[in-house]
Structure 1
Amino acid sequence: MEKSKKKFITGVKWTTLETGISAGIESLNHILKAIFLSPYEFAYIAIINIVINTSQRFEDFGFSKAIIQKDEVNNEEITSVFLLNIVAGLLLFGILNLIAPFVSGFLELPGLAGYLHLASILLILKAPTLVFRSTLEREMKFKQLVKVRLFNQIGSFILLGVLLYLGYGVISVIYANILRAFVNSTTFMIYNYKLTGYKLIKSASIESLRHYYDFGKFVFGKTAINSVTKHLDEILIGYFLAPEILGFYYFSKNMVEKLKKLIKRSFGKVLYSYFSKLEKKDELFQIYEKITQLLAFFSFPVFIGVALTANLFVPLIFGEDWQGGVIFIQVFSVVSALTILSTGTASNLIYSLGKSKLNFQIDSFSNVLYIAALFIFAQYGVAFVITIRAIKGIVTANIKQLYAMKSIERSIKDILLIAKWPFLAVATMAVVVVGLQLMLINLMYNEIAMLLVVVGAGASTYILICWNMTKKIYWDLRKVL
């Protein structure tokens, strides 16, 4: 257990480092695409990502999480899961190439089929990655995982920039993703052989996957349903409304979702691996409480800050053409602030306790209602779509938090106490940011200077309030570990 604690601390350090660097690269990535691509072209990017991301959810069957959660894993099981993923990847590759013309015709986007044919290569390249990434996470080799992902991210970013500058447009994004998938698959495989002791052998069987099926069927069901519902709003906007509206919507949603993913990655991957090794509920809650507090202190100001300053930085950084995305960024950011604690920690806690069925049931119920509401109201405009999505996210997150607390014999009151001080601190920051904007709007005409003053004042206020509290939580966490 002592060894696991050290690996946990090292993992958090490396994934936190990755979060900071990745945030910068992803921001530059988003700026590049916004500069060289129009809202209309972003509609193509949206549909390509929807199709590829949804397809990938059907490659794994939830077995990757089962590899991490299972007490003992042997090479026959690893080989069986690997071969199953390869077969699934090839099947999905064929299916996507068959349906690509129909998707293009359904959404009335000329040339989309050709982009989907090329992007389908990702399904083959990413299939081997799933098993080897899971074995590395199981052994908590987060240092190596972070190094690979950062190196890869920088390489694909450079390629994307060059291709966009040369005028390749939408296809630049696909080529950059193909490079990234190829390098990930190759390097994860090499690190797996060097660091984990797991290897592919000539023996494989369906019977060896019985435990993986029992655990993974609910993970797979949850992931598949979530993947479809995650993008259903974009599909319906693409069908009912103009491509430019889909471009604005996807641009905003994708920016906030990537930020949310980066923050979750600092703790999420490490937490699931570590939680799975803990047995005492009191010990679980101690770790959960401190991690959740740290997550709240770091994530609340980021999302609320983005929401309060979007009107300043969007036209300044991305250009006036993207002004239509401001309201979407603001809504998505506020919802992310309200849901990050549950999506970042509660789901991992529930999974680590072996209750994959519970996560599946919660998501299934909320998604059925969400799908029904979208089909009824999407045709009336994007305001209905984003409102329905916000309500669904907030309600689902709170239900998961409630069940997570119940699973370790705690109540929702404990979570409210955990989030109390981060909430008060960010509320104070919000007052300062909004107040300054109202004061300076007629006094300061330099937009860059105004953005810097507002962000600097908000950040300084928050840091002054939280510095001592976050330090205490960090050292308390170290003591618990």
Structure 2
Amino acid sequence: MLVTKSLVSGVKWTTFQSTFSAVIQVFRVFVLTKLLIANDFGLMALVLIVTGFSQLFVDFGISSAIIYKRNNTEGELSTLYWLNVALGCFACLILLFFSYPISIYVFNEIELNNILKIISITFLFNGFAIQYKALLSKKLMFKSLAKINIVTPLLGFVVTIILAYQGYGVYALVYGYMVENFSRGSLFILRGKQFHIPKWYFKINEVKSYLNFGGYQMSERIITYFRQQGDNLLIGAFLSTEILGFYNLAKILVMKPVQLIRSVFNKMAFPVYSSIQNDDQLKKMALTINKVVYLAIIPVMLLLIVFPETTIYYFYGEKWLSSAPYLRLTAILFSIRLLRTTFGPLLLARGKAKQSFYFNLWFSIIVLVALCVTLQFSIIYALYALISIELFILQAMNLYIVLKPIFGFTINDYLKVATESFLPLLFACLLSFSLSYFYSDFTNVLLSLGIYILGLFVGLGLFYWLNKNTVGFVKEKIKALKS
């Protein structure tokens, strides 16, 4: 009951925080598309690829190791803290040194050199803050984390918009990112120091178990990061920052609601799963989270898959309609991907960092090879390839590497879960697409809205009919907490 109570409280605060952050981000993009050009968004996408990769080394998987290990001694935490600080300094120096060759020889964008030099200082600071975020997560302090993640995007949003209006171009995005990063880290430190204040203590031999766990985690995250950013990386290298800008704006429209809905649970899933020792209870919790996530994503994905032109036209403007084909296919890809990503934290929660690493290794190799081949033709070909891989290869990997070893799932079990989650969205999309094909066009917003509402009503009704047991379980838990 304590775990369920923490989860429900976390859902409430994390939902509010994620919703607020997503709204700020979406409104930010809405405004910035009127002030910036596609090349600015493409450059910032390249910056985030480089900085995101560097940030992985600052953490080194230590945060997950701290959360996973039940008891952390003062000496262990102090040693790990100073190790994170040293890694932050190292990442800062490496980025300063390699910013020019990365900019010229990888992306052929000289302006990227100056941006990377400016933004490198964030890694120096992050080394001092990263452990406190892990401690707040370990203590299930979702309320504090939510408040921090509400204030900091707002600060970054205000700075970005002001600078964009003043004509700073891509640097408005850069300085807004830095303000958000520094303010978030500062608040993590202020809130988290109640749990630990580091001493002048450093003995690497005492934290070997953390480093072994963290080493697999860092390796997995590096591989995962290159896979997740592989499309942006290869588009920036093979094509142009302008094309990357169009593609990335479409990806943002998909990723923000997906991150909003998925992060509500996934931010809590690892610490909550780790605290559940009973396998039956864990299975029921994991399946329930999977269903609830899919229920929440149906309205968004129905809109993006069936009405991409309408969404782009009314949100970004007519000059961005080139993003519409990317939007539809990316939404289809992530709708399928959600079938397995909600189960991702299970391997780590059961201490299977090695298996999680190898899963992501093969996953990433398959995806990156497919991207390298298909991007030679077009982004559209690449997205079709990723959808096929996700549907026929990665879902099978999820069954045999994650769900079968942990829960004893069979193919029939997995097909049942997939059908109960995905079928309502698929049916709603087919119905809405058929009606819009014959009776609507992307500029007729009222007719499109009517078709959307009809499809949504049918999809949600089918979901309820297929998942009565899950709905009943959630109602029972909420009722028990109220009593």
- Residue of structure 1 aligned with 2:346, choices 345, 349, 359: 349
Name the structure 2 match of 1:111: 111
Name the structure 2 match of 1:21: 20
Name the structure 2 match of 1:70: 69
For 1:60-139, list aligned pairs within 5 A: 60-106=59-105, 107-139=107-139
Change (3 A) 1:208 1:239: same
Question: Comparing 119-128 with 411-420, which one deviates more in the overlay?
Answer: 411-420
- Match of 1:176, as an amino acid? G
CA distance in 2: counterparts of 1:176 and 1:184, whole angstroms: 12
Deviation at 1:275, TM superposition (A): 1.0
Contact 2:370 2:386 in 1 (8 A): no
CA distance in 2: counterparts of 1:361 and 1:123, whole angstroms: 28
- Match of 2:398, as an amino acid? K
Name the structure 2 match of 1:271: 269
Name the structure 2 match of 1:289: 287
Deviation at 1:379, TM superposition (A): 2.7
Change (3 A) 1:334 1:320: same
Deviation at 1:441, TM superposition (A): 2.4
For residues 151-177 of structure 1, what are the alpha-carbon distances to aligned partners after superposition, in whole Å with 9 as ceiling and x for unaligned?
Answer: 111221122111112211110111111
Question: Comparing 31-40 with 281-290, which one deviates more in the overlay?
Answer: 31-40
Name the structure 2 match of 1:9: 8
Contact 2:160 2:176 in 1 (8 A): yes
Deviation at 1:425, TM superposition (A): 2.5
Contact 2:26 2:256 in 1 (8 A): no
For residues 337-362 of structure 1, what are the alpha-carbon distances to aligned partners after superposition, in whole Å with 9 as ceiling and x for unaligned?
Answer: 11113212x11111100001111111
For residues 58-81 of structure 1, what are the alpha-carbon distances to aligned partners after superposition, in whole Å with 9 as ceiling and x for unaligned?
Answer: 111111111111011122222222
- Match of 2:329, as an amino acid? V
Deviation at 1:99, TM superposition (A): 1.6
- Match of 2:168, as an amino acid? Y
CA distance in 2: counterparts of 1:163 and 1:399, whole angstroms: 46
Name the structure 2 match of 1:326: 324
Contact 1:284 1:408 in 2 (8 A): no
- Match of 2:353, as an amino acid? S
In the superposition, the TM-score normalised over structure 2's length comes to 0.91
Q: Matched residue of 1:36: which SS?
A: coil
For 1:1-400, list aligned pairs within 5 A: 2-106=1-105, 107-194=107-194, 197-344=195-342, 346-394=343-391, 395-400=393-398
Change (3 A) 1:94 1:390: farther
Name the structure 2 match of 1:413: 412
- Match of 2:321, as an amino acid? Q
Change (3 A) 1:421 1:381: closer
Deviation at 1:392, TM superposition (A): 4.3
- Match of 2:50, as an amino acid? V
- Match of 2:339, as an amino acid? L
Contact 2:67 2:138 in 1 (8 A): yes
Q: Matched residue of 1:368: which SS?
A: helix
For residues 126-180 of structure 1, what are the alpha-carbon distances to aligned partners after superposition, in whole Å with 9 as ceiling and x for unaligned?
Answer: 3333211110010000011001101111221122111112211110111111111
Q: Matched residue of 2:167: which SS?
A: coil
Question: Comparing 211-220 with 233-242, which one deviates more in the overlay?
Answer: 233-242
CA distance in 2: counterparts of 1:9 and 1:234, whole angstroms: 36
Deviation at 1:431, TM superposition (A): 3.6
For residues 325-377 of structure 1, what are the alpha-carbon distances to aligned partners after superposition, in whole Å with 9 as ceiling and x for unaligned?
Answer: 11111111111111113212x11111100001111111112322333343344
Contact 1:229 1:367 in 2 (8 A): yes
CA distance in 1: counterparts of 2:448 and 2:161, whole angstroms: 26
> Which residues of structure 1 form unaligned runs of 5+?
none
CA distance in 2: counterparts of 1:241 and 1:269, whole angstroms: 34
Contact 1:36 1:164 in 2 (8 A): yes
Q: Matched residue of 1:191: which SS?
A: helix
Contact 1:93 1:124 in 2 (8 A): yes
Question: Comparing 20-29 with 47-56, which one deviates more in the overlay?
Answer: 20-29
CA distance in 2: counterparts of 1:79 and 1:326, whole angstroms: 50
- The yes-or-no answer on 1:453 pairing with 2:450 is yes
Contact 1:18 1:150 in 2 (8 A): yes
CA distance in 2: counterparts of 1:340 and 1:79, whole angstroms: 38
Q: Matched residue of 1:201: which SS?
A: coil
**How many aligned positions are there?**
475
CA distance in 2: counterparts of 1:371 and 1:65, whole angstroms: 26
Deviation at 1:223, TM superposition (A): 0.3
Q: Matched residue of 2:133: which SS?
A: helix
In the superposition, the TM-score normalised over structure 1's length comes to 0.92
CA RMSD in angstroms comes to 2.3
Change (3 A) 1:23 1:401: farther
For residues 370-410 of structure 1, what are the alpha-carbon distances to aligned partners after superposition, in whole Å with 9 as ceiling and x for unaligned?
Answer: 33343344333323433343344443354124432211223
